Structure 1
Amino acid sequence: MTVEMPDTLPQRIYLLALDPERGKPPVGTHLNELVRAAALTDLYLSGHLADEKGRAVVAVRHPCHDPVLEAVLEELASSKPRKWQHWVGRRGRQTTLAVREQIANGGWARVEERKILGLFPTYRMTPRDPRLRGRLRGRVSAALRDPLSRVDPVDAALVALTEAGKLRGVLDRKAKRTHKRRLKDLAERTGPLPKALKRTLEAQNAAASA
């Protein structure tokens, strides 16, 4: 069964992160931060958010036509302007769970929830169309290969966030070396979020090592 590509960047980054064999992202994946950064990027690319001296500000309040993005926008609208890094690291689990529910309700994957030993909650996701992840990887490859002017901003963001979030199984070391300049160009087209995502993960690693 062929399914349509999801509309939002958080949905696409979640499905790209999904290991179809395990039914979830690989161990060590910074999924909450990736999904959160993807939501903020979506709002930035659509013009709902803008950058003001390194801080996220609401530029447009008209509806996003997506409840997850609308919820994130409302968070920022009800707060004073803060650095992007603050928002990447905030409420990531809630945003990720909401995106996972969208993926299930939208028919992109079947989600089975259970408890290990009857105590510890876990889940398994089975894609409805196993080819969808391959199509997403194809968009990543095209963004690295095609003329920059022809790369869709959402695809540029997909690649930039994948690299910034160190998502496994998408860009190997050789690809990063070969396309070093293109990765930089795609990150610049994406806006402030790739850098904010990197800083968030670096801060988390530093705190864990302290």
Structure 2
Amino acid sequence: MHRETHQATSRETSRETDRATDLPANLPEKLYLLAYDPRRGRMTGSQSLNLLLQAAALTELLRRGLIREEGRTAVARVREPAASAGLDPYSARLLGRIQEKRPHSWGWWIGGARTAGRDQPARWVRDGLAEAGWIELHRRRVAGVFPVTRIAPGDPRVRAALAGAVTAALKSPLSRVDPADAALVALVAAGRLRSALDPKGRSRYRGRIEKLAPAAGPVPRALGRALVARAVGRALEGAGEAAVV
């Protein structure tokens, strides 16, 4: 009896361990979870998160061979069920859009990410993670009027494991770094995701990041340019409003 109880407990512990080490497969999902700051208990990088997730979806499609680069533009290939199986909802949606449109530059696709409303990448990725049980959504209304959604990790160990993967990719021998983790770090750095890698870390590991960047193809560089363009646009808009006042 004692032996059976012990075996049952061991099996349960094993399942919990497997779940703890199990991680989302897609880059947008990983980056969304890394954007959650456990110390503050909230999401960070709200100004640039949609562009970062758009870049992550492009990188995921590129890594799977579902899109390719032709003359610095993103071109969709014929959908391959084996390669597209397991895509997160937003990456699958973006693939459909790329298939429908003529070729555009990586920067065009990144800059075209919606930043408000239901069609923004952050909303798609968030809802997909919630449906899969990776996060929990707690909705309420401020002053009984304005809807607010608070995000909480389903299992904090998952986010911690992703943060550990970033650290390992920066410190482990280059030959041991998984290409998916290399692409993840390249996007974290290009997107300036402080909750995963602060400015000091980006500076300290600049050389390593440059060596990891090829795993994400041309997307990180295009993301960096898109973020600069977005910042300049906001600055000009603010200056214009000040001049009117």
Question: What TM-score, normalized by structure 2, do the two folds share?
Answer: 0.80
Residue equivalent to 2:218: 192
2:193 counterpart of 1:171 = no
Using a 3 Å threshold, how does the CA distance of structure 1 residues 27 and 109 change in structure 2: closer, same or farther?
same
Amino acid at match of 2:211: D
Using a 3 Å threshold, how does the CA distance of structure 1 residues 118 and 27 change in structure 2: closer, same or farther?
farther
Match of 1:126 among 141, 152, 161: 152
In 2, the alpha carbon distance for the partners of 1:152 and 1:58 equals 25
In 1, the alpha carbon distance for the partners of 2:36 and 2:141 equals 20
In 2, the alpha carbon distance for the partners of 1:199 and 1:22 equals 29
Residue equivalent to 2:13: none
Residue equivalent to 1:30: 48
Residue equivalent to 1:157: 183
In 2, the alpha carbon distance for the partners of 1:27 and 1:44 equals 24
In 1, the alpha carbon distance for the partners of 2:183 and 2:215 equals 8
On the 8 A contact 2:45/2:193 being kept in 1, the answer is no
Partner deviation per Cα, 1:34-62 (whole Å, 9 max, x = no partner):
11111111001111111112111113422
Using a 3 Å threshold, how does the CA distance of structure 1 residues 29 and 22 change in structure 2: closer, same or farther?
farther
Query: Identity of counterpart residues, as a percentage?
Result: 41
Using a 3 Å threshold, how does the CA distance of structure 1 residues 27 and 61 change in structure 2: closer, same or farther?
closer
On the 8 A contact 1:68/1:98 being kept in 2, the answer is yes
- Give the CA deviation at 1:130: 1.0
Residue segments in structure 1 that go unaligned for 5+ positions in a row? none
On the 8 A contact 1:160/1:190 being kept in 2, the answer is yes
Residue equivalent to 1:50: 68
In 1, the alpha carbon distance for the partners of 2:151 and 2:41 equals 5
Deviates further, 36-45 or 116-125: 116-125
Residue equivalent to 1:90: 112
Output the aligned Cα RMSD. 1.8
In 1, the alpha carbon distance for the partners of 2:222 and 2:36 equals 23
On the 8 A contact 1:111/1:126 being kept in 2, the answer is yes
Amino acid at match of 1:55: T
Residue equivalent to 1:14: 32
Residue segments in structure 2 that go unaligned for 5+ positions in a row? 1-15, 237-245
Amino acid at match of 1:189: A
Amino acid at match of 2:216: T
Structure exhibiting the larger radius of gyration computed from Cα positions: 2
Match of 2:100 among 73, 78, 101: 78
On the 8 A contact 2:180/2:215 being kept in 1, the answer is no
- Give the CA deviation at 1:28: 4.7
Deviates further, 103-112 or 27-36: 27-36
On the 8 A contact 2:48/2:191 being kept in 1, the answer is yes
Greater share of helix residues, 1 or 2?
A: 2
Partner deviation per Cα, 1:73-115 (whole Å, 9 max, x = no partner):
0101111100111111224452221111111111111111222
In 2, the alpha carbon distance for the partners of 1:28 and 1:86 equals 20
